[in-house]
Amino acid sequence: MSDQPMKKVILITGASSGMGKVTAQTLIAEGHIVYGAARRIANMQDLVEAGGHAIGMDITNETQVQSAVDRILSEQGHIDVLVNNAGLVSPMLHFFDADEAWWRKIIDVNLTGHFLCSHKAARIMAKAGGGNIINMSSGGATRAHRAFTAYDATKG
């Protein structure tokens, strides 16, 4: 038996910036096979240079999510971990200045996108006998902010 930890195939959404980018870089450095997904694929060049894989994907588009999952399955045969990190906080609006389009955009990214990714990954993981889905949150889950009404609701 080897003392080396087993490499995991990991899909991280929102990997073009912030926590997603740092998480991807850390997991690549630990030797895992990391697929970073984001709408801004150009911002993931350093992830590719570090040995990761970049996927252009809008998590609110089921076809794009399926294509990303299909690519990973084609290249690796499985997905061990999904990190639902992609999130949208802006534009920050006071509740009285908000409209339904603003609300739906944030709900679509922060909830529907996580559902679509989880729905695809969970089926693969169930067939394989296990896996992990990690849903990132923030302080918005535990306290309200005047300009983050929709964001706070999605994080809670």
Q: What is the DSSP string of the chain?
A: --SSPPP-EEEEESTTSHHHHHHHHHHHHTT-EEEEEES-GGGGHHHHHTT-EEEE--TT-HHHHHHHHHHHHHHHS---EEEE------S---GGG--HHHHHHHHIIIIIHHHHHHHHHHHHHHHHT--EEEE---GGGTS--TT-HHHHHHH-
Lowest mean pLDDT among 13-22, 57-66, 90-99, 141-150: 141-150
Q: Please answer whether residues 103 and 32 qualify as being in contact, where contact means their C-beta atoms are separated by less than 8 angstroms.
A: no
The per-residue pLDDT for range 84-114, each reduced to its tens digit, is 998 876 666 677 787 888 888 888 988 899 9
Closest CA to 81 of 37, 40, 47: 37
Nearest to 77 by CA among 4, 28, 127: 127
Active site residues: 151
Instruction: Say if strands 33-38 and 53-56 run parallel, antiparallel, or are unpaired.
Output: parallel
Residues 53 and 36 sit within 8 Å (Cβ to Cβ): yes
pLDDT in tens, 46-87: 999 999 999 999 999 999 999 999 999 999 999 999 999 988
